[in-house]
Chain A
Amino acid sequence: MSSKHTITVTVNGKSYERLVEARVTLADFLRNELDLTGTHLGCEHGVCGACTILLNGEAVRSCSLLAVQADGAELLTVEGLARGAELHPLQQAFQDQHALQCGFCTPGFLMTAYAFLKERPKPTETEVREAISGNLCRCTGYLPIVKAILQAAGKTTT
């Protein structure tokens, strides 16, 4: 059907070499080839943000990229946030603030927030709201997510 290419990516610090079809999205590659199913697909058309991951430190929507575009890149997914059993402050804050219900959107929010806090370690509430405005959550009503990100920002700066 479509041509195949060998790509090399580093995901959560581990390097992988795989032969992939040109048309396979980065999200499908992570989920199906690498079994990293923490990255979710809510729309597959770039609106919901559930598929957000970090590519060379930048938040991207993995449903809207092809796996071949990530050749040579360094990726971080939700599976790479915790250090063993120790949760990342963002993850802990999400639990503390009840910032998730069904949890389907959560990986996307975590990765968006992770990239955002790297850029802007001490954000205001308005800035947080804007930073996550491209991610959809149908359960929580966002308010606890905003609180969680602010909590994590407090933690990372102290």
Chain B
Amino acid sequence: MAKPYIGAPIKRREDIRFITGKGTYADDIKLPGMLHAAILRSPRAHARIRSIDTAQARAIPGVVWIFTLKDIGEMAVPVPMRMYKVPGLERYLQPLLARDKVRYMGEPVAVVVAESRYLAEDALDAIEVEYEDLPEVLELRAAMRNEVLVHEENGTNLAAVHEISIGDAARAFEKADYVRREEFRVHRHTGNPMETRGLVANFDVGKRELTAYGMTKLLHYNRQVIASFLKLPEHNLHFIENDIGGGFGIRGELYPEDFLIPFASMRLGRPVKWIEDRREHLMAANHSREVTCELEIAAKKDGTLLALRARIYGNMGAYVRTHGGLVPCSTAALLPGPYRIPNYQCKVHCVITNKTGMGTYRAPGRYESCFFRERMLDMMAADLEIDPVDLRRKNLIQPEEMPYEIGLTRPGTNPTVLDSGNYPSALNRALKEFDYDKLRPLQGRFENGRYHGIGLAYFVKNTGGLEPYEGARVVLRDGPSVTVYLSINVLGQGHETAMAQICADALGVPMDWISVFHGNTDLVPFGWGTFASRGTVMGGSALHLAAQGLKKKILTIAGDHLGAGPAELDLQEGKIYRKGTEAPALDLGKLVALVRHSTMHNQGQPELEETAYFNSNKMTHSYGVHLAHVAVDPETGMVEILKYMVVEDVGRCINPLLVHGQAVGAAVQGIGGTLLEELVYGENGQLLTTTFRDYVLPSSTDVPAIESVVLEEVPSPLNPLGVKGAGEGGMVGTGAALANAVSYALSSLGVEIKELPLSPDKVRALIRRRSAEQAR
């Protein structure tokens, strides 16, 4: 047997174009006659639009067209929800451009199209909009009072409610030895990929075809929506993703701009490019995470969990975006985590405010719920004087209980079932790798002016059949060579390499024969996309099936030719062998020629290809543990991470280089989100964090040593590869593990973390408040 490619740390083939400056990102695309668009955005959080005067702006030479919602006329639709359509949310969708009123700072009001971006921006300055300010509402509690209505016509800011009820929580709480109630909050922050959003739309007037570059993540779905908006048949639209500077949930969802730019191109009959600047990105692209949770826990004296009861509030911003109620609902769905909790009741509230709309950020709902639950468990462990590790061990779902059905947690879908896993084993492994027992005596210790703390968090996260299928087509060609066409897309993860590994093994050809194509709606007619770590689970599985199918075809044809049954043959490293013999029996190049030049083989089809779709509405669940050792300076509130580890069972690891890269990269994002990043609103609903000076991303000097341990103990039974998704595990537990570690560090001061971020000012304020309280 040749050595399998799957599992090998193969260097990425896509790197060459990136390190030589030859990548093609949206802004690198130049088409003849191309115009440039810029978007006029509301500087106000909540105001009525009295008038918009574009006369002066239109007079600027080089300005081609300026349009507002009126110019879109009857075609105008709101940006639709794609998922988590909790009833009620549909009343809060965003119009393509502001209608009568603006509801958040950054809302698109008008579009300028000009001969250059410089000119388009000049024109923005020359447009005069008269606003009449309205009082704004930013915070959940205030919004729930409905004194200021963001959408008056709906009479309420509570857009929707979703309820979960599993078992009988009320009874469990009555009978419990121990109950505790806390309120937790995760702050508003978001993905901020290094490349801002951008697109190029090119309408061919003659053929009535639209080609759009820079569309990503959900090419097929997005194409369908834009086609129906433009009233064109779907197949007249070609969506091409090109290279993408990071996704993280935020990119590739439909935003107003995804309608406006194609619309402009169609109206003008010329290519139009729009590239967002960072300020726009921070105020207009999806924000995420801002969720508050009132959580109650019930247990027996010995720490056996009996019930959870929660009220979750999502600050959805001014409009419900494509993800619908995903962020707060997903938080609710994952709250029980890896534990046996027979009774669970939760009410999710989607609340509208005058902030930017909410969408997903890597590990949406997973990060938040992990923080709420794991924090509460540590508080409970302290109350009951049980070791936090023992408490978790006691309640973890055991391998023999798999698959484990939690119950109905998400709106309108199947019950949540944890597919497979050995949770206790991953915990043991994590403690050992981290040297937890050795570090433990440092817990709470004050040394050289700093308090030490060690925190851990257990997580489980779902992926897979969030949308029902992905497709792949594999073709054996001249050379011989193999081309792979995928319905999924790529946002920088390295699929061109990982997918070639999968195909090489399943088909039995050398990896360097294989070219991988993706991110183009013309290649594979149906598909969804890469998000929530599902790329390899769904797309990889489809590819595996297609390659296996093609192998079967090849062996059948070879068998006919050699006078052997297909079962007597095998294909390895690109050569056909009679089983048990060493010398190749047939060259694949010859086989390709045979099929191409004679109608005798392959049922008369000249092309040796196979297309397969992998269908699944089930979810795989990766799981693992985050561990953090921190030192906190009580004077400054600075949290320094001395050691950080992510242990994750991904079922099966296609390329360890890439999986570790995902884990470390995600952990750093999570650490940044927990310690540094926050989208802050000030007076009058002004977003204060509109540059990278105010919205602080982690840099190389903020990053601790991070160790990533990848486990493959329990492959998923839900797909042929056994994979469980590897894009988000490094992120999920960061908030929880750091909050637990900081709480342990400061336990002698009576500080308990219930809110993120753990920025120095916040930590210092907590310490001060507690000392003041204790002094009283």
Contact = CB atoms under 8 A, between A and B. Distances in A.
Given A42-B195, A102-B246, A136 B697 contact: yes
A68 interface: no
A96 B11 contact: yes
Interface stretch (B12-20, B221-229, B529-537): B12-20
Classify chain B: how many residues form its interface, as a range: 35 or more
A133 B21 contact: no
Contacts of B11: 95-96, 98
B692 to A, nearest CB: 4
B664 A106 contact: no
Contact of A138 (B23, B192, B664): B192
Contacts of A82: 20
Contacts of A140: 661, 664-665, 668
Interface residues of A, number: 57
Contacts of B195: 40, 42, 102, 104
B194 A104 contact: yes
A82 B21 CA distance: 10
B658 interface: yes
Contacts of B27: 31, 37, 41
B132 interface: no
Residue of B14, B192, B661, B667 with highest tally of chain A CB at under 10 A: B661
B700 interface: yes
Nearest to B692: A47
B245 A102 contact: yes
Contacts of B699: 132-136, 142
A100 B18 contact: yes
B706 A143 contact: yes
Residue of B27, B192, B195 with highest tally of chain A CB at under 10 A: B195
B728 to A, nearest CB: 13
Interface string A44-57: 11011010000000
B231 interface: no
Contacts of A23: 118
A81 to B, nearest CB: 7
Interface string B684-722: 000000011100011111010110000000000000000
A139 B691 contact: no
Contact of B246 (A1, A35, A98, A101): A101
Nearest to B655: A98
B286 to A, nearest CB: 15
A19 interface: no
Contacts of A103: 14-15, 17-19, 23, 243, 245, 492
B28 interface: yes
A150 B222 CA distance: 43
A78 B20 contact: yes
B246 A100 contact: no
A33 to B, nearest CB: 11
A105 B21 CA distance: 11
Contacts of B491: 102
B657 interface: yes
A81 B20 contact: yes
A105 to B, nearest CB: 5
Contact of B12 (A38, A77, A98, A105): A98
A78 B664 contact: no
Contact of B665 (A24, A39, A81, A101): A101
Nearest to A21: B118
B21 A36 contact: yes
Residue of A23, A44, A47, A107 with highest tally of chain B CB at under 10 A: A47
30 contacts: A38-B20, A40-B194, A40-B195, A42-B196, A42-B245, A43-B278, A43-B692, A45-B693, A48-B692, A77-B21, A79-B21, A87-B16, A98-B11, A98-B12, A98-B661, A101-B246, A101-B661, A102-B18, A102-B194, A102-B246, A106-B19, A107-B21, A136-B692, A136-B697, A138-B191, A138-B192, A139-B194, A140-B664, A141-B665, A143-B705
